[in-house]
Amino acid sequence: MTDDVHYWSARRVRAAFAAGELTPPAYLDALYDRVDAVGGRVNAVTELLADTARAAAAESAERWRSGDVRPLEGLPVAIKEEHPIAGRSLSLGSVAMPEQFPDRSHPLVERIVAAGGIPHLRTTTPEFCAAVYTHSQRWGVTVSPWNRRYTSGGSSGGSGAALAAGMAPLATGSDIGGSLRIPGAFCGVVGYKPPYGAVPALAPASLDAYCHDGVMARSPQDALLLHRVVAGAHPDDHVSLTVPPTDVPPRDRRRVAVSATLGRNRVAPDVRTAVDAAAETLSGLGYQIVDAGIDWDLAELARIAIGHLGLMMTPMMRAALGDRYADADRYSRYLVEQAEEALAEYGPLGVTTAEASVQADLAALFGEVDALVCPTALVAGLEAGNDYLPGDVTLDGVPVGVRHSVELVATFPFNMASRCPVLAVPSTVTSLGIPGSVQVVAAPYAESMAFAVAEDVHAAARWYEAPELRPTLE
């Protein structure tokens, strides 16, 4: 076993299991050794599940010997703390909400275990998964392994950091406004927001079309391996469905629209470079590249999307906090108050009308192209531990007037158009030393196309295979 086994892809680990070159217990021990060595530098882990994980790894070793293997046999998976595990504490990162002990696991966790995957640790989130960064009174600050002055992103920031630091090959996350993709961007990994309903969830959040549970990995192929396990209709989730594969034409017949700004929006130079690099990669492979022609005001869309959160997410936060509301993290209270203001400003009809407009823009675009490539965030990174409330925000050293930090990312429109599959993938390394990320967006339910384009962008560099394309944890 080599010294860098913790950075092997999930597919390579599985092949090593099959060849008898590596066993699930030995691999699990290597990952726990990695947690011991670097975990304190990024603060991504809330809980180790060592006892149950080691028992599962021993069972997997026997299954590999007998040939009775399942799709994820012996592969450890980091679980976002938000995803309940039966009998384990659930806090949602809050010191103010009473701790819960659910009696059943999230369907995503159940499917991972049934497929032979091994939940081996749980990962940090901001309180109530309510921020584009990951820090809280409960768990402290989670940072990007690529540059520890900067946040891992949120809200699946612990999962992103655990992947980038080599503590897990696969991870779970969720996304109501970018929470799979933003950590993908700031940790240099892949975050996949599936089409709404493709991955079953728990009610009542499952009824909110902005809400998506999904997967993260260090490559699109590994993300697809895990996604195929967790996706598909579930009897307990009435909006869940099985998405059929779609045809993907040869590269020289694929048309991709590109936009570095998505309209009237300021982006950092590093962000534009990342988009340009992805477009150049695809063009070199034979893709036809066209201008997206999208003209969105992302700040306005973010405000409207926050109003949508006032329909379900923030009322759930208020209910969970009860008379401890004042003890919540200040960014949680700020989101609740902003959502209430925005919903009062636009009303449910105004929010829905804006969502319909975004969907119409994308429907017209996908009538002409196979995919859209655009930024994941408008900045190369966000300072770790900064709440980014009004007055805190600068862009390239210049103060900018934003009402909420979600205006610094470009992810919300694709929760408004929630049936579109979207992958965040790295394409360059920025001046901050953090990978520059792009979103690959495909037409509603066209998952096969989204993964095909994302894989082509990602394969231009040997991310995590070459030592120079791994984080230094400095």
Is the domain of 267 the same as that of 145? Answer: no
Please state, in angstroms and rounded to a whole number, the distance separating the CA atoms of residues 313 and 437. Answer: 27
Catalytic position from the list 155, 156, 219, 240: 155
Is the domain of 282 the same as that of 210? Answer: no
Is the Cβ–Cβ distance between 122 and 157 less than 8 Å?
no
Q: How confident is the model at residue 389 (pLDDT cuts 50, 70, 90)?
A: confident
Is the domain of 414 the same as that of 275? Answer: yes
Question: What is the predicted pLDDT for the residue at 1?
Answer: 65
Catalytic position from the list 91, 174, 179, 259: 179
Q: Which residues pair with 147 in a beta bridge?
A: 144
pLDDT higher than 90, residue 398: no
Is the domain of 100 the same as that of 198? Answer: yes
Is the domain of 196 the same as that of 258? Answer: no
Please state, in angstroms and rounded to a whole number, the distance separating the CA atoms of residues 230 and 208. Answer: 19
127-131: average pLDDT: 98
Predicted structure pTM score: 0.97
End-to-end CA separation in angstroms for the chain: 26
136-141: average pLDDT: 98
Is the domain of 317 the same as that of 185? Answer: no
Residue type, 454: A
Q: Does some domain include residue 245?
A: no
pLDDT digits (tens, 9 = 90+) for 98-126: 999 999 999 999 999 999 999 999 999 99
How long a stretch of residues is the chain?
A: 474
Is the domain of 353 the same as that of 432? Answer: yes
In the DSSP assignment, the letter for residue 99 is: P
327-356: average pLDDT: 98
Residue 429 φ then ψ, to 5°: -115, 130
Please state, in angstroms and rounded to a whole number, the distance separating the CA atoms of residues 272 and 270. Answer: 5
Short-list 238, 193, 209, 212, CA closest to 82:
212
156 labelled catalytic: no
427 labelled catalytic: no
**What number of other Cβ atoms are within 10 A of residue 304's Cβ?**
24
pLDDT higher than 80, residue 397: no
Is the domain of 272 the same as that of 152? Answer: no
Catalytic position from the list 9, 80, 405, 418: 80
Is the domain of 47 the same as that of 188? Answer: yes
pLDDT digits (tens, 9 = 90+) for 314-332: 999 999 999 999 999 999 9
Q: How confident is the model at residue 400 (pLDDT cuts 50, 70, 90)?
A: low
Domain limits at 411? 251-469
Question: What is the predicted pLDDT for the residue at 390?
Answer: 82
Alpha helices in 166-251 (DSSP H): 181-187, 220-230
Q: How confident is the model at residue 474 (pLDDT cuts 50, 70, 90)?
A: confident
Is the domain of 286 the same as that of 394? Answer: yes
Is the domain of 199 the same as that of 306? Answer: no
Please state, in angstroms and rounded to a whole number, the distance separating the CA atoms of residues 6 and 464. Answer: 10
pLDDT higher than 80, residue 219: yes
More confident site: 2 or 188? 188
Residue that has been written with the tokens 């309510």 in this structure: 130
Domain CATH for 317:
3.90.1300.10
How many structural domains compose the chain? Answer: 2
193 labelled catalytic: no
